[in-house]
């Protein structure tokens, strides 16, 4: 039998790389969120969530990747760069994308509780800022969403088992 595999679009290819980063976070017990920064068709920085492990507000995937991209390019302006991120950015990360003057952000799934690409605020198209970030939503959205749902399902199950064990 010949398996027919649909060729990934470039956006899906980069979002898959972001998902791979998110999986690294999940593997160490962190909420699985990951991202990559792309310039001239190449990944120049990757990041995944390490907030709990590092005990640091700034250890979000996007901030990690922006830090690496700046160190690589030696420039605080990431003009000509795009970010692919599995979850809609929080206020800090959305603000960092604006400050870094990133051209475009590709988002996997939305975050109704804290997302700043339209869910709670839309920080990417504020005319008062000196930069706006183009925003594309729903790249491999179901996959990104499932990954998070499974993580929280497993977490709840584990916490329930631990609670049960502590009561014996």
Residues that bind a second copy (CB under 8 A): 51-52, 54-60, 63, 66-67, 70-71, 73-78, 90-96, 98-100, 113-114, 116, 120-121, 123, 126, 128-130
Name which of 8 and 58 has its Cβ closer to a second copy: 58
CB of 7 to a second copy, least distance (A): 34
Best CA proximity match to 93, nearest among 125, 65, 113, 52: 65
Question: Toward a second copy, which CB reaches closer, 57 or 166?
Answer: 57
Q: Give the 3-state secondary structure of residue 50.
A: coil
**Cβ of residue 138: shortest distance to a second copy, in angstroms?**
21
Q: How far is the CB of 162 from a second copy (least distance, A)?
A: 22
- Assess contact for 140 and 34: CB atoms under 8 A: no
**Which among 82, 96, 5, 95 is positioned nearest to 40, based on CA atoms?**
82
DSSP state of 30: S
Nearer to a second copy, 17 or 92 (CB): 92
Of 12, 21, 30, 62, which one is the catalytic site residue?
Answer: 62
What's 56-80 look like in SS3? CCCCCHHHHHHHHHHHHHCCCCCCC
Q: Is 146 among the residues known to form the active site? A: no
Catalytic machinery residues: 62
């Amino acid at each position: 039998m010949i398996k027919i595999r649909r060729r990934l679009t470039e956006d899906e290819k980069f979002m898959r790389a972001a998902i791979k980063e998110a999986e690294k976070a999940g593997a160490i017990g962190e909420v699985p969120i990951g991202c990559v920064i792309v310039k001239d068709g190449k990944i120049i920085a990757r990041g995944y969530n390490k907030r709990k492990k590092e005990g640091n507000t700034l250890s979000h995937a996007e901030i990690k990747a922006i830090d690496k991209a700046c160190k690589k390019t030696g420039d605080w302006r990431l003009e000509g760069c795009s970010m692919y991120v599995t979850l809609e950015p929080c206020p800090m990360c959305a603000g960092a994308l604006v400050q870094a003057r990133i051209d475009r952000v590709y988002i996997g799934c939305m975050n109704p509780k804290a997302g700043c690409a339209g869910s709670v605020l839309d920080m990417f198209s504020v005319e008062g800022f000196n930069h706006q970030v183009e925003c594309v939503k729903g790249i491999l959205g179901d996959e990104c969403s499932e990954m998070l749902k499974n993580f929280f399902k497993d977490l709840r199950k584990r916490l329930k088992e631990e609670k049960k064990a502590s009561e014996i």
